[in-house]
Copies of this chain bind each other. A is one copy, B any other.
Amino acid sequence: MSSLASLKPLEDTTIRGRTVDQLRRLVVTGELAAGMRLTETELACALGISRGPLREAIRELVDIGLLVSKPYKGLFVREITRKDLEEIYSLRTMLEKFAFQEAWDKRTPEALEDLNSRNERLITTIGTGSDPFGPIEAELHLHSWCYELSGHSLLLQSWNRLKPNLQFYFAMHQQAHARQGPERKSHDLYIRLASGTDLEAMLDHLNDHMRQGLETTIGFINTA
């Protein structure tokens, strides 16, 4: 049983699946600069695939919001305005509060252990400065906890759609400020309240947590 739990889902073998992953990575890491223009033919050539599966992959990223398609003009990497960011954060706040409400009574000891291990991983990852995007992923993985625990598949799906946009913005912000991502202490209270008995306090904290995240990162957006 324990050996089965350590099994990781085998990597997507279809070209479309791999292309989605790769394009998403390229976008959220900023390797494809925001606003950059792409064309299907170029991309297909660069990736060494044909346009069929590429188009399907592109359409998925467009749907998520990472790419913007301007018909007959080209494909563009999304740019984030202040309004976009505010929308992302306000929707996220609401989703996460809902997730905690749904997950609250499902917090078994195992689940709380899982939460702690995610936090540990975040702390560890912040320590090692090798992969600059590791901490971002670790933080989002920590926050995914409540969504997964909620057992609400539609909610989890919404979160998974929102996540890449956050990832994208985090990386963009990190790059612009040359900073090392999330702080070590910023999630201590989050974990403590999430493990505690006061749901209302947790929900209140989420408002603060999110607002703080928004405010500390909103500075350098040009209010286009």
Binding site for B on A (CB under 8 A): 52, 55-56, 59-60, 63, 84, 87-88, 90-91, 94, 98, 102, 152-155, 158, 162
Contacts and interface: CB of A to CB of B under 8 A. Distances in A.
A166 to B, nearest CB: 12
Given A60-B59, A63-B60, A98 B94 contact: yes
A193 B66 CA distance: 38
Contact of A91 (B55, B59, B158): B158
Nearest to A154: B87
Nearest to A86: B152
Task: From A88, A90, A98, A154, name the one whose CB has the most chain B CB atoms within 10 angstroms.
Answer: A154
A15 to B, nearest CB: 13
Contact of A155 (B52, B87, B154, B155): B87
A169 to B, nearest CB: 13
Contact of A59 (B56, B84, B155, B158): B56
14 contacts: A52-B52, A55-B56, A56-B56, A59-B60, A63-B63, A84-B154, A87-B153, A87-B154, A87-B155, A88-B154, A91-B152, A91-B154, A94-B94, A94-B98
Contacts of A162: 154
Given A84-B154, A87-B153, 19 more contacts: A52-B52, A55-B56, A59-B59, A59-B60, A63-B63, A87-B152, A87-B154, A87-B155, A88-B154, A90-B102, A90-B152, A91-B98, A91-B152, A91-B154, A91-B155, A91-B158, A94-B94, A94-B98, A158-B158
